[in-house]
Amino acid sequence: MASSSGQDAGLRHLALMGIPVWARRRPTAGRGTALPPGEEGPDRAAAPVPAATAAVPAAHRDGGVATLGWEALAERVAVCTACELHRTRTQTVFGTGDRDADWMFVGEAPGADEDRQGEPFVGRAGQLLTAMIEALGLRREQVYIGNTLKCRPPRNRDPLPEEVVRCRPFLERQIALVQPRVIVALGRIAAHNLLGVETPLARLRGRVHRLAAGTPVIVTYHPAFLLRSPREKRRAWEDLCLARRVARGEPT
Ligand code: SF4
């Protein structure tokens, strides 16, 4: 297990960065605590979560995405028109960071800032993700950050199932190339799409899931959600500590 001193160090780091949360007390229900569907509430008694499949229909593997190297993969994404999102994007948002990273963070889809800048997790949510990464004793450049979708859904709506299916081979190839020791799924949609389940996020947290290839996945809240519900940052920190134990090969 991670030592308490290590966790304290992470908390100190957050405090130094001016993040006024990671409260020690469990939050109680009350005003301002309403959460969106799938990201609601405290953990419930653990119900078994199905093993991850992350299966992709064979038809969508056509085109050899599963054999592409990094540069060819990036080029393929940049010109992709496989779903309707290509019509409204400013540019694709491929992913960023260390391509040999031990840690991989996967979000939902680009937002307005990401669509403009071509990089995932910029803006306020990106700043919080950076703080979360640094609280783990890592630098943002040391991890790999990507999204389930590479193009922004209009008005930040949820991705449609067919968009996820068509875009999934790109993320799968990124995971296969990075070969991370742990993946952190950021938010309900990323978790559902990675794990191939529709279980509420509260029941996906706190345990180690595995993709079909065996890659461990830890589920936590999306930084944008944490900005709206800062009291949940304590739970997110617990998730990150679990992911750190997985990355270190420690008992969970
Ligand atoms: S979201 Fe994915 S599948 Fe759709 S156009 Fe963009 S890169 Fe292609």
Tens digit of each residue's pLDDT (9 = 90 or more) over 70-118: 999 999 999 999 999 999 999 999 999 999 999 999 999 999 999 999 9
pTM assigned to the model: 0.81
81-89 contact pairs (CB < 8 A, 24+): 82/166, 82/167, 83/151, 83/160, 83/162, 83/163, 83/166, 83/167, 84/163, 85/149, 85/151, 85/152, 85/153, 85/163, 86/151, 88/151, 88/152, 88/154, 89/115, 89/151, 89/152
Cα 81 to ligand 1 centre (Å): 6
Q: Would you say the CB of residue 83 lies under 6 angstroms from ligand 1?
A: yes
> Does 29 fall in a domain?
no
Is 183 domain-assigned? yes
**Ligand 1 in contact with 136 (CB < 6 A)?**
no
List pLDDT tens digits, range 217-231.
999 999 999 999 999
pLDDT value of position 5: 56
**Would residue 203 count as lying in a domain?**
yes
Let me know if residue 208 belongs to a domain: yes
Split at pLDDT 50, 70, 90, the class of 49 is very low
The residue nearest atom 4 of ligand 1, judged by CA position, is 83
Examine residue 5 and state whether it is found in any structural domain, yes or no: no
Q: Is residue 233 part of a domain?
A: yes
Tell whether 21 is covered by a domain.
no
For a mutational test of ligand 1's pocket, the pick from 76, 81, 150, i.e. the residue with the most ligand atoms closer than 8 A to its C-beta, is 150
Does the beta carbon of 85 lie inside 6 Å of ligand 1? yes
Q: Tens digits of per-residue pLDDT, 158-173?
A: 999 999 999 999 999 9
Domain count, the chain: 1
Q: Provide the pLDDT for residue 9.
A: 61
Q: Would you say residue 102 lies in a domain?
A: yes
**Looking at ligand 1, which atom is closest to the CA of residue 89?**
6
Where residue 11 falls among pLDDT bands split at 50, 70, 90? low
- List the domain range (segments joined by +) for residue 81: 61-248
**CATH (domain of 138):** 3.40.470.10
Nearest residue (by CA) to ligand 1, atom 1, is 151
For residue 183, the CA-to-ligand 1 centroid distance in Å is 21
| HEC-encoded secondary structure of the chain | CCCHHHHHHHHHHHHHCCCCCCCCCCCCCCCCCCCCCCCCCCCCCCCCCCCCCCCCCHHHHCCCHHHCCHHHHHHHHHCCCCCHHHHCCCCCCCCEECCCCCEEEEECCCCHHHHHHCCCCCHHHHHHHHHHHHHCCCCHHHCEEEECCCCCCHHHCCCCHHHHHHHHHHHHHHHHHHCCCEEEEECHHHHHHHHCCCCCHHHHCCCCEECCCCCEEEEECCHHHHHHCHHHHHHHHHHHHHHHHHHHCCCC
pLDDT value at 27 more than 50: no
73 Cβ closer than 6 Å to some ligand 1 atom: no
Q: Measure 25 CA to ligand 1 centroid, in angstroms.
A: 42
Q: Supply the residue whose CA is at minimum distance from atom 6 of ligand 1.
A: 151
Is 173 touching ligand 1 by the criterion CB < 6 Å? no
What is the sign, positive or negative, of the torsion defined by CA atoms of 128, 134, 140, 145?
negative
